[in-house]
Amino acid sequence: MRRMANRLKFAAVFVVGAGLLSSTAQAETTVLRGFTLIDGTGATARPGMAMIVDDGRIRWVGRAAALPRTTDATIVDLTGKYVMPGLIDLHVHIGTVRDLDQQAANFTTANVEKDLRTYAAYGVTAVQSMGTDGDAIFAIRDAQRAGRPTMARVYTAGQGLVFKGGYGGVPGINHPVTTAEEARAEVDAQVAKHVDFIKFWLDDELHSMPKMPPELTKAIIDEAHARNMRVLAHVFYLEDAKRLVAQGVDGFVHSVRDQPIDADFIAAMKSHGTWQVAPTLSREEAVHAFGAPNPITRDPFFRQSLSPTSLTKLESPEREKTVSSNPNWARLPGFDRMAKINFMKEVRAGIPYGFGTDAGPPGRVPGYSEHWELAGLVEAGLTPGQAIAAATGRAAKWLKNPDIGTIAAGKWADLVVLDADPLKDIRNTRRIAAVYIAGNKVASVQP
């Protein structure tokens, strides 16, 4: 009963806070003091720190002993706490899922905002939505950028490009293409909507669907670059990834998963400046994790990310049977392992990388997935500090937004306050005490 009460309380907080996309609050000053700072650059943590936040931006950060005198400020004592930048997820899908049901009709402003508040509650203060957005996304994004958001910041590819009859997208949102001419026209249509980047899917779902041919991927990349847009690709196979690097793709939003990557591929990525934007390790686990009873679903930290109906469905024997009946079920854990191996090869070779989960589709839940991903990165071979930097400072570099991702004077106060040290145990990112977006304290998950 206590867990249910906490979940209902959490939901009620979200409903009460559902109103505005950006704050219209009066000028304000907040002083945070006494915390250990993890600044998102990968630098050593610094204890005994303080910060002054004015109207959502960090005015000063330094040793608490040197804190400048302020007047009319709200003082927040964070002694014993840890402060890090908000997480940035470079691969999500928002607004199309309700109670584990994904369809275009679910994409409403209310459902998008619900997802963005859920992300924020878990300390995810910015997301990059990967090509399954309805046009309502643009008003939400533009309103955020005109003010001080009270939910996760959003970047969008609008409607990503899919091959007719092929893998990817959401029916009713994405417009399949069959020719290079259609592909170029669709890129132009997305640019006219002021998307933040172009995304396309190159996959055949383990040889069960037609795959977008090379002349279409080249047309997409060339047209986007002619319009000064970066291009991201969903890939699975090494052969496809090699061809896309040669065609000039700017980044991948999954690791290669069919076989080990080789020196030629790494050299090509380096030569072209290609990013591993999102390894999506948690995605590879999630696609097979719920084919049997799983202790994750009983974790209160997980349960707060889903509606009661979603939880009932996720834990149902019927859904578990559906998941485990996938004809490729036995192969899925191997793809997970290959994603980790290939990602670490890229890291050790100096390939630029970020952080992303592919959260959003049924079973890949907003909020929890990011903390699952952090743990997966450490399991793959990153240190906790490297994992946090991937999800903060490095991710902000991909977005080309110097105002988020790290903690320094002049930047937005997008912050997560933790009760325990995540550099000692990455799972301590789940010990969330508070979340701030542009200096606004937002509703966060219950302890």
Dump pLDDT digits (tens) for 106-134.
999 999 999 999 999 999 999 999 999 99
- Counting residues of the chain whose pLDDT is more than 70, the rounded percentage is 94
- Note the pLDDT tens digit of each residue in 372-404: 999 999 999 999 999 999 999 999 999 999 999
Torsion of CA 73, 78, 84, 87, to 10 degrees: -80
More reliable by pLDDT, 104 or 14: 104
Least confident of 14-23, 96-105, 123-132, 233-242: 14-23
CA dist., res. 105 & res. 334, Å (int): 35
Q: In angstroms, what CA-CA distances link 290 with 51, 325, 362?
A: 42, 12, 11
Helix/strand/coil for 334: helix
- Output the DSSP codes for 35-94: EEE--SSSPPPEEEEEEEEETTEEEEEEEGGGPPP-SS-EEEE-TT-EEEEPEEEEEE--
CA angle 75, 150, 33 (to 5 degrees): 20
Of 310, 396, 329, the C-alpha closest to 127 is 396
pLDDT at 253: 98
Q: What is the number of alpha carbons within 13 Å of residue 280 lying toward its C-beta?
A: 29
Q: Tell me, what's the pLDDT at 359?
A: 98
Tokens 């995540």 locate to 422
pTM (whole model) above 0.75: yes
Beta bridge partners of 31: 52, 75
Tens of pLDDT, residues 25-36: 445 899 999 999
**Choice between 46 and 8, residue whose per-residue pLDDT is larger:** 46
CB atoms within 10 A of CB 421: 15
Residue whose token pair is 């997802």 = 115
Average pLDDT over residues 158-163: 98
Distance, first Cα to last Cα, the chain:
16
Q: What percent of the chain has pLDDT over 90?
A: 92
pLDDT at 27: 56
pLDDT over 60 (residue 14): no
Q: Does position 177 have pLDDT exceeding 60, yes or no? A: yes
Specify the residue for token string 């009319």.
Answer: 72
Q: What is the pLDDT of residues 323-360, one digit of tens each?
A: 999 999 899 999 999 999 999 999 999 999 999 999 99
Note whether 156 and 138 are within 8 A (CB). Answer: yes
Q: What is the pLDDT of the chain when averaged over all its residues? A: 94
Task: Evaluate if residue 3 carries a pLDDT over 60.
Answer: no
Are 416 and 83 in contact by the 8 Å Cβ rule? The answer is yes
Give per-residue pLDDT as tens, 213-267: 999 999 999 999 999 999 999 999 999 999 999 999 999 999 999 999 999 999 9
pLDDT at 10 over 70: no
Residues 124 and 86 sit within 8 Å (Cβ to Cβ): yes
What's residue 329's pLDDT?
87
Residue 432 predicted with pLDDT over 80: yes
**Ranges 5-9, 75-79, 274-278, 341-345: which has the least confidence:** 5-9
In this prediction, residue 254 carries a pLDDT of 98
DSSP string across 288-307: HHTSS--GGGG-HHHHTTS-
pLDDT, mean of residues 178-197? 98
